[in-house]
Each structure stands twice: as structure tokens, then as C-alpha cells.
Amino acid sequence: MVKYKIAPSILSADYANFASELRRIEETDVEYVHIDIMDGQFVPNITFGAGVVASMRQHSKLFFDCHLMIVNPERYVEEFAQAGADMMTIHVESTPHIHGALQKIKAAGMKAGVVINPGTPVEMVESVLELVDQVLVMTVNPGFGGQAFIPEMMSKVEKVAALREAKGLAFDIEVDGGIDHETIKLAKKAGANVFVAGSYLFKDDFKARVAALREALND
């Protein structure tokens, strides 16, 4: 039985009102909050760091799915663990020591995820699949919300799902970028079960939009 999870991306929220934004998320039935950490170097945009995550933790008991788009994320494992992150998902392109970095995340007591950019082949993460709780296949180039879903990424999701099957593993497959009530169906069909959505959800009718994603998953 596949467990489908919806992960609203706080990147599209009102940054001056994280507490009320978290409340709005908690009033729905979503499983995760997706928290995008950007350093202005790995990606052109800058968001915030572990300090802000620690403050968010004071206002929410939700599962914090932290997506790090920073150079050498292994430098901040302890900080994010202490801030209350539940999972740290790091880019294979962001460190020459992906295996060690994932080990470090697990040793700090968090779940570990690995991410690939649209231009990165699945083979790049094949040798760390045994270590991870989640593989994130980016469906846009990271850095900004509101970009168009890249449908060609679906064959990569299929490939990750096939490798998981062949190796007898059980990690989740997440997609991030351009997810709405239509594209979520393509991602589900390809084998994804965790769906990040930012600009689609953070509108006045947040609750109804979560319900629309849920409904699309039931189709």
C-alpha cells in the first residue's frame, strides 16, 4: 500500500508570518512541510538557515522536510538536527562527499534524502540508495517557485522506482517543482509518492487546493 504525502513548500508563504502560515498548513491533513534552504551560491536565490527553522519548530509539530540547496550541506548537519529538522535532503551536485554527508545526517538522528537536478542522471545516486529514506527528483531547476513542470523528468522517476524494486528498498520518491492538480497525476503514475507544492497551494483557498491535490491522487 503506497502512502501518498503532500508537502506544502513554505518558499511560497509569507516570510513575515511563518507562525500563521504554519497554522494554515496544520489546519489541513498534509503530512509534511517542505522547507527550502538556499545560499545564493548553489542556487541564485537566498532564503534562510537553521535559526529560522528552529523558530518555526516552536510553532509546529509537523514533519519538517528540509531541502538544502547549499554548497557542502554536510557543514550544517548538526545545526539542522538541533533546529528540529526531521529530514535533510541534500543535492548530489552540492558535495563531493555525498555518501559521507548522508551518513552524517543519519548519525545525527534525522531521515536522509538525496536530490538530483533536472540535468543530473539517476546513475549519480545509484550507489547511495541503500542509505536514504527519500530520493527527490527535481521537476524544475532549483532556486525559485512558480516554474513550469518538466515532464521529461518522469522517466527519471520511473528509473528510480525500478531501481528501488530491483534492490528491494523502501525509500520514498519525492517530486518538487511545478506540481499542480494535473502534473501530480503524471508524477504519481511515474512512481512518486511525495509531492511538494508551493505556488499552487499558497493562495487564499489553500485548504481547497490541498483537497484538489488529494482528489487528483485518488483519480
| From 49-57, 90-98, 99-107, 172-180, span contacting ligand DX5 (CB under 6 A) | 172-180
Choice from 104, 176, 184, 194 touching ligand DX5 (CB under 6 A): 176
Residue type, 200: Y
In angstroms, the Cα distances linking 18 to 95, 120, 127, 202 are 30, 33, 37, 12
φ, ψ (nearest 5 deg) of residue 187: -65, -40
Shortest Å distance, C-beta 167 to Zn ion: 25
Helix/strand/coil percent split, the chain, to 5:
45, 20, 35
Q: 39, 86, 133, 176: which one is catalytic?
A: 176
Closer CB to ligand DX5, 51 or 146, in the complex: 146
Residue 217: how many CB atoms within 10 A of its CB?
18
Shortest CB 48 distance to ligand DX5, Å: 13
- Per DSSP (E only), the strands in 87-178 are 87-91, 111-116, 134-138, 172-176
- From Zn ion, ligand DX5, none, which one binds at residue 172 (CB under 5 to 8 Å depending on kind)? none
Strands (E) in 63-104, as ranges, are 63-69, 87-91
CB of 121 to ligand DX5, least distance (A): 19
Give least dist CB 178 to ligand DX5, A: 5
Set of cell numbers at residue 78: 548538526
Binding flag, residue 36, Zn ion (CB under 5 A): yes
Q: Is 74 in the site for ligand DX5 (CB under 6 A)?
A: no
* Region 181-210 residues binding ligand DX5, contact defined as CB under 6 A: 196-200
Count how many Cα atoms sit within 13 Å of the Cα of residue 166 in the half-sphere of its side chain. Answer: 8
Closest Cα to residue 193, out of 202, 201, 184, 183? 184
Report if residue 12 touches ligand DX5, rule: CB under 6 A.
Answer: yes
Is position 36 annotated as part of the catalytic site? Answer: yes
Subset of 135-164 contacting ligand DX5 (CB under 6 A): 140, 142-143, 145-147
Binding region for substrate = 9, 67, 143-146, 176-178, 198-199
Residues engaged in binding ligand DX5 (CB under 6 A): 9, 11-12, 34, 36, 67, 140, 142-143, 145-147, 176-179, 196-200
Catalytic residues: 36, 176
